[in-house]
Structure 1
Amino acid sequence: MTIPRQTASLSELKKALVQLPHDELLDVCVRMTKFKIDNKELLTYLLLKSHDEQAYAEGLCDEIDRQFRQQPIHERTLRKIVRWMDRCLRFSGNKETELQVRIHFCRCVADIAPKKKRCRVTANLYATQRSKIEKAIDKVHPDLQYDFRREMAPLPASLR
């Protein structure tokens, strides 16, 4: 016998959170961070990093650089970096941060591509990131669109 999943709606949860006293609300937040690492990472972003979006983006780019230096770059490593990057960018929700980090990732991949035998998986990952960049560029201010397109110009259109 399976138990049906009874998850409350977002509005129901919001109403319940508003009614909680400060101490109980704090306990709920701490308990959530202990439950799942994504919750802890999101709370870290919201409480400690969201006030300086530029520094957050630079930190993500630095971590990408570290990952590229630290590990031998295989398709599996690239997928792992992309999953981590997507999760961190989802926390932010800021298109400018997304563009800065994704462009940086594409630069890193383009830099290693000539050193490695170009493979289909790497080329597809690169193409997917370029596609996400193009979609995000359309959603920012026209002045920023120009700047980001200029940053994209030196990158190859594809890795094949």
Structure 2
Amino acid sequence: MAKKKKNEAEIKAVTVNELKKEMLSLPHAELVEICLRLAKFKKENKELLSYLLFDASYPETYLDQVKAYIDAEFENLGTTHAYLAKKTIRKILRITNKHIRFTQSKTAEIELLLHFSKRLRRAGDLLKSSVQLGNLYFQQLRKIEKAIDAQHEDLQYDYRRELELLAKV
């Protein structure tokens, strides 16, 4: 592998604060064009923009859609090949985490991870026979625990009860 020369110019991204200042100075039409160009550039950008424009106003409906996706993927989960099942479960978790990032809500994180963990627990034999899936399961329970700690006390109680049920393996 060739080393970089010291005099080569590197393109560095500016800070979010600098981006914000520049965006505030742009005319509305130009800002819309930039957003559309950004949406065309990468699929995840388009998905985030879709969420912000169409789904952010209805968080319960959005969570129900993501839960329905999780359910559908677990229904199609083939348990004959452990390798493919693990790969599919990791894919479901990756997409679930993407939707959690979109919402930027601890409540949504708890709801979706609890739902994912419940569905994973129903996989029963697969969860018990695979050390990797067992580790993944307990890692999600720890993430849920951390998110619950950030909630109001009233909500903590309800979520902790659900978490305790999931922790009993």
Whether contact under 8 Å (1:110, 1:156) holds in the other structure is: no
Instruction: Name 1:27's counterpart in structure 2.
Output: 33
Stretch of structure 1 that moved more, 110-119 or 31-40: 110-119
Structure 1: runs of 5+ lacking an equivalent = none
1:26-52: CA deviation from partner (whole Å, max 9, x where unpaired)? 100000000011111111111111111
> Residue 61 of structure 2 aligns with which residue?
55
Q: In the aligned structure 1, how far is the partner of 2:95 from the partner of 2:19? A: 28
Identity of aligned residues (%): 37
Ranked by relative contact order (alpha carbons within 8 Å, sequence separation 6 or more), the top structure is 1
Aligned residues: 158
What's 2:74 paired with?
68
User: Structure 1 residue 10: deviation in Å?
Assistant: 1.0
Normalized against structure 2, the TM-score is what? 0.87
Aligned-pair RMSD on alpha carbons? Answer: 1.6
Unaligned runs of 5+ in 2: 80-84
TM-score by length of 1: 0.92
Distance 2:148 2:60 in 1: 17
Structure with the greater alpha carbon radius of gyration = 2
1:121-144 Cα offsets, whole Å, 9 max, x none, are: 110110110010000000011100
